[in-house]
């Protein structure tokens, strides 16, 4: 199996396993292991809720949904590394640099990306995120510790890094803060109830689920203007006003998914829709 294809398969496995309802934490074993993924119970998250700071080493390819302090130390040149972070839907993620020992002039890299990016596909998509893609990267080698803390715009963020010299690395502390009006969300679980509210803002918001699901919409309220319901054209949802679009696909970027259904008028449900692979509801 080609290394690039194997890496893609491993990342898909990360997403599918780490976001299952009974698990919230995923760790990458040593590369020599045949099965590179070790799944931990959600009990770990509950055990740490009492205020104890969780600490562990950060791997070259990693995914975490826990707050804590994570240290990466290169034991050999590590040239293609990424850490994916995910919080609860109603949370922001703050990445704080505690210690950084890398050689920027020697080609080392340490960048935070506001969202997730994989094979050129982004979440949130460029249509949904308030910043252009170039401004969603925060490069340590350009900003240094002048931006010691970086907060995401949604419940996912990631760090790209490259470290050539063994012994060099960095330490990060990951914390979360409440987000009163979450807009772009990747769900950690396949089950549950979620309310998406976009208060007086003209923007796209997406709720993405990375597994086959059945979605039941129990209540849909669309935009009002001066107390009057916005009117839609007779040609579906292509007219002026708010609407909800159900999308399906196997990628990460909602703008590249296939439309499954448009919901143009307010109602009180339930309405049930089934997704074959990945569902993204965009409001």
- Bridge partners for 118 per DSSP: 121
Collect all residues with Cβ–Cβ distance below 8 Å to 193 and sequence separation of at least 6.
none
Cα distances from 229 to residues 88, 222, 264, in angstroms, run: 32, 8, 11
Collect all residues with Cβ–Cβ distance below 8 Å to 32 and sequence separation of at least 6.
none
pLDDT in tens, 155-204: 999 999 999 999 999 999 999 999 988 999 998 887 778 877 777 667 78
pLDDT of residue 188: 83
Separation of alpha carbons 245 and 247, rounded Å = 6
Collect all residues with Cβ–Cβ distance below 8 Å to 200 and sequence separation of at least 6.
none
pLDDT in tens, 190-200: 777 887 777 76
Q: pTM of the full predicted structure?
A: 0.74
Reduced to 3 DSSP states, what percent helix, strand and coil does the chain have, rounded to the nearest 5? Answer: 15, 40, 45
- Bridge partners for 110 per DSSP: 161
Phi and psi, residue 85, nearest 5°: -115, 140
pLDDT of residue 241: 66
Most confident by average pLDDT, 1-5, 25-29, 51-55, 223-227: 51-55
Separation of alpha carbons 62 and 83, rounded Å = 5
Collect all residues with Cβ–Cβ distance below 8 Å to 103 and sequence separation of at least 6.
164, 165, 168
Separation of alpha carbons 140 and 213, rounded Å = 39
């Amino acid at each position: 199996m080609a290394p690039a294809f194997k890496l893609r398969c491993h990342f898909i496995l990360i997403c599918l396993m780490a976001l299952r309802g009974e698990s919230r934490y995923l760790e990458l074993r040593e590369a020599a292991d045949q099965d590179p993924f070790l799944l931990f119970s959600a009990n770990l998250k509950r055990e740490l809720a009492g205020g104890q700071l969780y600490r562990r080493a950060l791997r070259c390819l990693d995914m975490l949904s826990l707050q804590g302090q994570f240290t990466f130390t290169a034991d050999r040149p590590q040239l293609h590394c990424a850490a994916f972070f995910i919080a609860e839907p109603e949370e922001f993620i703050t990445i704080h640099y505690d210690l950084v020992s890398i050689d920027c002039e020697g080609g080392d890299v340490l960048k935070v990306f506001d969202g997730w990016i994989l094979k050129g596909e982004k979440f949130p998509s460029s249509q949904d995120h308030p910043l252009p893609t170039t401004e969603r990267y925060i490069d340590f080698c350009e900003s240094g510790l002048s931006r010691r803390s970086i907060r995401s715009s949604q419940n996912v963020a990631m760090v790209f890094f490259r470290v050539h010299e063994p012994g060099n690395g960095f330490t990060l502390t990951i914390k979360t803060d409440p987000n009163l009006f979450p807009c772009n969300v990747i769900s950690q679980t396949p089950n549950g109830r979620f309310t998406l509210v976009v208060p007086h803002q003209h923007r796209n918001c997406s709720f993405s689920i990375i597994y086959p699901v059945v979605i039941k919409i129990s209540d849909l309220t669309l935009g009002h203007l001066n107390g009057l319901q916005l009117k839609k054209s007779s040609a579906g949802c292509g007219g002026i006003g708010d609407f909800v679009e159900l999308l399906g696909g196997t990628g990460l970027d909602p703008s590249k998914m296939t439309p499954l259904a448009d919901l143009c008028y307010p109602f009180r449900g339930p309405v049930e829709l089934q997704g074959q692979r990945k569902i993204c509801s965009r409001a």
